[in-house]
Chains A and B, each alone.
Chain A
């Protein structure tokens, strides 16, 4: 495990060193950005709408019983931007994009395509890892902003239509505006950026470590997704503590 962590950190360092070459790889960055961002939009929309809705559904009646139903907007708003949107989107992207990254790089490794790149003096870090990491680092925070907005809307829909809650749109968003500050959204963006780097680097590393045939590729995909999700959840706790300490 420690060897893996060490290798992942080395790969991250090599990718950071290659950052100035991003402009040269812009076409690949754009392709990856499209794949991660645009192609995940519909799924992110559905997921966020229901997450926002279910928070309202779970907490709304409890708040209403205590005469606090007007706070539902703030509660959904804060939960979405500080915790649920970054974590849920990161898990979605780990499953959807992390698996694809490790499978693609893994199959390139197994079928000697990476060796072919190296014989042409094309560094796999520059050609494969850098565009993916830059693209996911930009796309995931954007997706999280989108998810926050849709989640708020989902909460508002449930709050206004559910008879046990009965908070109209205007009251919901008025409370949300009162309680949610730009710093709270920024908090979610910082988390999502860190999660994006974790997914990108873990998945690429796993792909580059692939050995064997199709079974090896399958094993890499599973490891990439599981390791990414475990790391996201562990890091989420520590990031929350740090951000609370820094009062962001």
Chain B
């Protein structure tokens, strides 16, 4: 893989008839999706509806019981897909390597695949960390960071890969509103700069409606709606309306 020239354009993702059963329980019940190259596709839904497991299938961490996932027309399980395109995932927990420093974590992909010289990797690491507001923290260990800072390092690690497909699992959870805006802007900038395909799983309605080209709502392992943010907002489905309009009020407090 060393020295391999990659295209910087996003990839097309197709999910066809995806089913997954865990311990006899249907977690995904026939998901069909098509995410176009360069699109920001947001998947929303209540907790436990199968969003994260869907992301893990898309990046190849889980194998479907039925159905297939195609990246630019090739099955995700095929060896050649990972050789041809760079895919990154920002995990909800950050999933930083705890035995490595922040700098080593961010530069891990580049150094392990020997894609750049050491000095160039250090420069990229510094640049990506500055981008997420963590300038100068290269030598810290993940255990020394707060939850939000870990999430930002994970985003910097994904950005350092200059991926063609980037999957975000709750990218703004544990972030303060200002940093959430920065992350949202970075997702948009990636799209504008490199036409990266982004699939975002989030509960954050502001983020979803602020950045999405299209939104899918998943409920109990099924996609119950998909379309542009305006179309989703206009949906008459009660479940969708409840999910989109749920608010904490004084009435809730008095219950």
Contacts and interface: CB of A to CB of B under 8 A. Distances in A.
Nearest to A31: B99
A109 to B, nearest CB: 11
B61 A118 contact: yes
B90 to A, nearest CB: 9
Interface in A78-121: 104, 107-108, 111-113, 115-121
Interface residues of B, number: 22
B81 to A, nearest CB: 10
A115 B98 CA distance: 14
B234 interface: no
A116 B82 contact: no
Contacts, number: 48
Contacts of A50: none
A233 interface: no
B199 to A, nearest CB: 13
B113 A119 contact: no
Contact of A121 (B95, B99, B113): B113
B223 interface: no
B98 A121 contact: no
B112 A120 contact: yes
A127 interface: yes
Given A108-B97, A113-B97, A120-B88, 10 more contacts: A104-B99, A111-B93, A111-B95, A113-B96, A115-B61, A115-B91, A119-B59, A121-B82, A122-B112, A122-B113
Interface of B: 1, 56, 59-61, 82, 87-89, 91, 93, 95-99, 108-109, 112-114, 161
Interface of A: 24, 104, 107-108, 111-113, 115-122, 127
